Homo-oligomer: A and B are copies of this chain.
Amino acid sequence: MTALLCGSFEDTERDEWLQALRQAAPEVDWVLQPSPQVEVAVVANPPPGLLQGLPRLKLIQSLWAGVDRLLADPTLPAGVPVARMVDPAMSRAMAETALWAVLSLHRGFFAYARQQAQARWQPLPQRRADELHVLVLGLGAMGRAVAQALRAQGYAVTGWRREPGAAAIDDGVQQAHGDEALPRLLAQADVVLNLLPLTPDTHGLVDRRFLAAMRPGASLVNLARGAHVVDEDLLAALDAGQLAHAVLDVFHTEPLPPDHRYWQHPRVTVLPHVAALTDPRSAAQVVAQNLRALAAGLPLQHLVRRERGY
């Protein structure tokens, strides 16, 4: 089997991936240039158009969890299955970032950092974890891992998803679904943590109405996609004091332009899209499993439903 690795990598990064993939799937012929032999494309932000004209292509395997950008390429071959990266190591990394953000908000560590800049010594009230309500939007592999990690730490956690059906999560996590349930949940939450996939339905979800429905003084953590958020509306809510803080890992334009207001806003924490980096060591194993399933004619894992967008 010939597999093409392609993406917008730096050289060292591409070499690291190639080495990990060769180690995980030594039976595969790994190549870096398109050719008619290619049966699988393992991709990370591939240049648009690159996957056209591969007559034997049977699987497009993303190395990233989010496939919104990949699916937006109109030249993406229509009949070829697309698989997302679902890697337990990545979910753990995401849960670490979510836990750090919630602990920071819960225990006032962003506020203490602002006080430090002014050499100001001022203890703030301390709440118990079970007094803090966290609403996790999105109950995919990462949303579930995050909800469970927060619950294990004692927080009052509710998980929400757009579509009906209960996700397989620890009993201690409340579950809700559907657009109608959202305003009530937003009004209760101290922290709203976004892990939704980016689809036409969730694009711009965090807008003026959404933010106005949040409990005054609550905080937003966006670890999903920048396009979930209407930036002007979020900045207005922060400036008005409706929101206490925003932790943002993702942006409409990445890298975030140097003159963007988020960088200097005292109530915004900017991360450079690092909430959960794909770790080549574990992700290559996930890829290898799917390639073996393909070779054996077994069902493929983590297939994207293109009409749904994730």
Contacts and interface: CB of A to CB of B under 8 A. Distances in A.
B277 A92 contact: no
Contact of A256 (B89, B121, B152): B121
A121 B279 contact: no
18 contacts: A93-B128, A96-B129, A97-B107, A100-B100, A100-B103, A100-B107, A103-B103, A107-B274, A115-B272, A116-B263, A116-B269, A116-B270, A119-B258, A119-B264, A121-B254, A121-B255, A121-B256, A128-B279
Nearest to A254: B121
A93 to B, nearest CB: 6
A108 interface: yes
A267 to B, nearest CB: 12
A297 interface: no
Given A100-B103, A104-B100, A152 B154 contact: no
Interface string A71-110: 0000000000000000001001100110110011011110
B153 A96 contact: yes
Contacts of A93: 107, 126, 128
A251 to B, nearest CB: 9
A210 interface: no
Interface residues of A, number: 44
Interface in A230-280: 254-256, 258-260, 263-264, 269-274, 277, 279
A174 to B, nearest CB: 21
A38 B254 CA distance: 67
Nearest to A115: B272
Contacts of A109: 100, 271
A121 B272 contact: yes
A124 interface: yes
Report the copy number of this chain in the oligomer.
Answer: 2
Given A99-B103, A154-B92, A123 B264 contact: no
Q: Which 6 A-B pairs have the closest CB atoms?
A: A121-B255, A100-B103, A119-B263, A121-B272, A126-B277, A119-B258
Most buried by B among A153, A259, A274: A274
A122 interface: yes
Contacts of A89: 128
Given A103-B103, A119-B264, A255-B121, A272 B96 contact: no
Contacts of A254: 121
A113 interface: yes
Nearest to A275: B107
Interface string A130-170: 00000000000000000000001110000000000000000
A74 to B, nearest CB: 29
Contacts of A115: 272
Given A113-B113, A270-B116, A279-B128, A96 B107 contact: yes
Nearest to A89: B128
Contacts of A128: 89, 92-93, 279
